[in-house]
Each structure stands twice: as structure tokens, then as C-alpha cells.
Amino acid sequence: MYETVALHLKSSESITVLTGAGVSTASGIPDFRSSEGLWTEDHDREFYMSADYFFHDPEDFWKKYKAIFRIKLLDHYKPNVTHQFIKRLESPNREVTVITQNVDGLHGLAGSTNVIEYHGSLKGATCPNCLESYSLSHVMSFETPTCGSCGEYLKPDVLLFGDMITAHEISEKAVRHSEVLLVMGTSLLVTPFNMLPHYAKDKTTTILINNEPTPSDHLFDYVIHEDLSTTVEKLSEFFM
């Protein structure tokens, strides 16, 4: 199967890659939503990481936000072999669009050219009043970061519970126009991200690589249940 999957990837002129938390776990970033992930340790986290709570108590929100997402360690995380493999898929004759649930910015660090951060990014914050943007270094310089222009509390660029998802339409378009849809490291449980594979056309080759079965396995032409790093190493042999 690996040779067949690799052949589809190599012969395609357009690939859309959907990635989830499983892609970043090899970089040391916890999978917050897995059965052993950090989200299961405290069921109140969704409440605290909501837009409602941010506007209710921005000071306490920022304290919890920085702790939950381990913001101090963010610069320590580096792209792993899966990020690098996805970057290697790009070529002058092959367009690759990455649509990621991850907010760690590692696809960009790996050099992927076209990345849609479906759930936003931990790499900065924006003033909800004047829309001025600020870097992660600015965010980390203050316990509760505020806007230098108007003084409002900054809101992180990561999508909070209750926020509107703005990247779905462009993501749907990318899936519809791809020859190959490659889904990696996601259980496809989060709505509406899990609807994206449904937009693949009949002529699109669909591939799922995840370490455990998902409710959407039946949607794919090829399904591999294996550790991502191991699978990527096997596929890479056909790209030598």
C-alpha cells in the first residue's frame, strides 16, 4: 500500500493536506484532545478558553491561556519528520495546500508555502478594538498584554470556543480543487473541520494516515493506521 500511496502523491499536481494534533506530538507538543491528552484533565478548560471568558475576565483568561498552551515553551518546539515530509511534497510541478487544526505554527517553520491555520495561531495576538496585530514576543512581555495604540486587552490569534471559524470556505475550496486529499494525524471528530473530506470529488484520491481508526475511515480510498513518523519514513523511501 505504501508504494501505491506514494505513487499517487508523486503523480499529483495538486495535493491538499489536512493535519491534526497527531502531526505535532512527535515535536513534543501534547495532543490536547486525545484520550490521554491534556483536555481530559480539566473539563473546565473549554469554559476558560472561550471568547465569553476572555471578555469577562481578560486578566485571568491570559493567565490560564499561557499555562494551558505552555506558551513559554512554544519556541522550543521544532518541526518533525512529518512536517518536513509535507514540505518535501511541494515541487515546481506540484501545488500543496496545508489545512491544519494545529495552532503551533510548525508547518510554517518547516517551510510549507501555503498553510491555512484553520483554528488560528498561538504566535500572536490582535487588538479586538483597533485590530492592530502583535507578535508572540510582545505577548510574552506582559502578564496581560494590551494594545499600545488604544490600551485594550489583546485577544490571542488562536480560535477560542465561541469564535466564528473564518477559514472554512477557503479550506473547502482547496479540497474541491485537489487531485489528492491527504489527511494526517487527526481523529476527525471536531466539527466543522471533519466535514472537509466530504467535499472531495469522486475523482480525488483520498488518503488517511492516523494511529487509530476514525469515524470517517469509510470516506477514504486508502487508510493507514500506524504511527505517523513510521509511515512517513516508509513513504519517503519512494521519494529518494
Q: What is the SS3 string spanning 40-59?
A: HHCCCHHHHCEHHHHHHCHH
Q: Annotation-wise, does 4 bind a ligand?
A: no
Catalytic pick among 107, 119, 177, 225: 119
E strand or H helix at 68, and its extent? helix 58-68
Q: Annotation-wise, does 190 bind a ligand?
A: no
User: What does the buried/exposed string (b/e) look like for 80-119 if buried means 16 or more CB atoms within 10 Å of the residue's CB?
Assistant: bbbbebbbbbbeeebbbbbbbbbbbbbbbebebeebbbbb
Q: Annotation-wise, does 74 bind a ligand?
A: no
Q: Annotation-wise, does 94 bind a ligand?
A: no
Q: Is 119 a catalytic residue?
A: yes
Q: How far is CA 153 from CA 31, 75, 126, 132, 169, in A?
A: 28, 23, 9, 11, 29
Q: Does residue 154 contact residue 61 with C-beta atoms inside 8 Å?
A: no
Residue numbers belonging to the annotated binding site for Zn(2+): 127, 130, 147, 150
- List the catalytic residues: 119
